[in-house]
Amino acid sequence: MIVIRKVDELRKYSIEQRSKGKTIGFVPTMGFLHEGHISLITRASVECDLVITSLFVNPTQFAPHEDFDSYPRDFEHDYNLAKNADCDVLFVPAREEIYPEGATTSLSVGDLAYVLEGKYRPHFFDGVATVVSKLFSATLPNKAFFGQKDYQQTLVVKALSKDMLMGVEIVVCPIVREPNGLAMSSRNKYLTDDERNKAKILFQSLVATKEFIESGERNRKKINAYLHDSLRKLESLKIDYALAVDASNLEEPNEFDEGSEIVLLLGTILGKTRLIDNMVVKVPITKYNEDDRFQIGLK
Ligand code: AMP
């Protein structure tokens, strides 16, 4: 594995590799790698000839009161984990490589940036879109790999690649969890042992609500109430949002259609730590139409 710190050098590398017919998979991260990140690197190495992973704590996706300064950073730890995974290039740019002095251009995502997570972090998705676009320009990937952990972000990045004609295929990878169900996150480092244990309520509530839906409930308000009731068992958990939306477009119908996909989205704060999580649930099909009845011999 090689380490590249300059944008020009990375772009030269990628142009050379692509001219040799190699495909490039890109895994953007903010570092402090864990098994969730490694799962993206592994998936990228299966689907592409070369894997480039970036480590960059992006200042434009943090508001002034957020944890940019205290965000965990540990280059040696990241280097060793990436090297032991199938990463070919670790891209570690300084801030001025990504935001050259005097840079004023940024991207605006639109409505998707200001709902759910974006309602509580209004600066966040424009910052993500801007940095991902810069990183794509530096990396020239065929495919980029993102975690379902940041569900809304995957929709933003898919729209970015499509709207800006980038031609980068966005691959969404499953959430990797701790043994107690807590979704892995660099920010879990902020949790005390007690909080880490209590935080399993997020996963438990998602699983319970998934079962509620799978038992036949399609009414959005009832599903949301069930999810809230389950989360409220942990009184110290502050709930920014906890709700069921259409997984494809985040819309909120009164009743979800049979066979459609719901995503249960959580934005919460435990102690000083912001925890997000989600689960996609397929709404069961309970009624047969006439053709189905015929095919399964009920006629
Ligand atoms: P971050 O370093 O937190 O910005 O995350 C970099 C990438 O890793 C994003 O695409 C995340 O969605 C993904 N990721 C973070 N945590 C997990 C996890 N527990 N499972 C799968 N992917 C994850």
Distance (Å, rounded) from C-alpha 48 to C-alpha 237?
A: 41
Q: Check if 37 has its Cβ closer than 6 Å to any atom of ligand 1.
A: yes
> What domains appear along the chain, each with residue ranges and CATH number?
2-173 (3.40.50.620), 186-282 (3.30.1300.10)
pLDDT at 288: 60
Q: 135 in ligand 1 pocket by Cβ < 6 Å?
A: no
Cα of 113 vs centre of ligand 1, distance in Å, is 18
What CA–CA distance (Å, rounded) separates 78 from 95?
A: 18
pLDDT at 193: 97
Residue located nearest, by CA, to atom 17 of ligand 1? 36
Is 268 near ligand 1, meaning CB less than 6 Å away? no
Mean model confidence pLDDT for the chain: 96
Instruction: Give yes or no for a contact between 207 and 70, defined as CB atoms under 8 angstroms apart.
Output: no
State the catalytic residues: 37
The pTM assigned to this predicted structure is: 0.95
- For the chain, the distance separating the N- and C-terminal CA atoms, rounded to the nearest angstrom, is 63
What average pLDDT does the segment 182-196 reach? 97
pLDDT tens string 267-283: 999 999 999 999 999 99
Q: How far is the CA of 146 from the centre of ligand 1 (A)?
A: 7
pLDDT in tens, 116-172: 999 999 999 999 999 999 999 999 999 999 999 999 999 999 999 999 999 999 999
Contact, 199 vs 270, CB < 8 A? yes
Tell whether ligand 1 has an atom less than 6 A from the beta carbon of residue 39: yes
**Share of residues in the chain with pLDDT > 90 (%):** 95
Residue 37 is predicted with a pLDDT of: 98
> In whole angstroms, what is the distance from residue 70 CA to residue 60 CA?
15
Looking at ligand 1, which residue's alpha carbon is closest to its atom 13? Answer: 147
Q: Is the pLDDT of residue 30 over 80?
A: yes
CB 233 within 8 A of CB 200: no
Residue 178 has pLDDT above 90, yes or no: yes
Tokens representing residue 116 in the block: 């759910």
Q: Which atom of ligand 1 is nearest to the CA of 183?
A: 19
Say what the pLDDT of residue 292 is. 58
264 lines ligand 1 (CB under 6 A): no
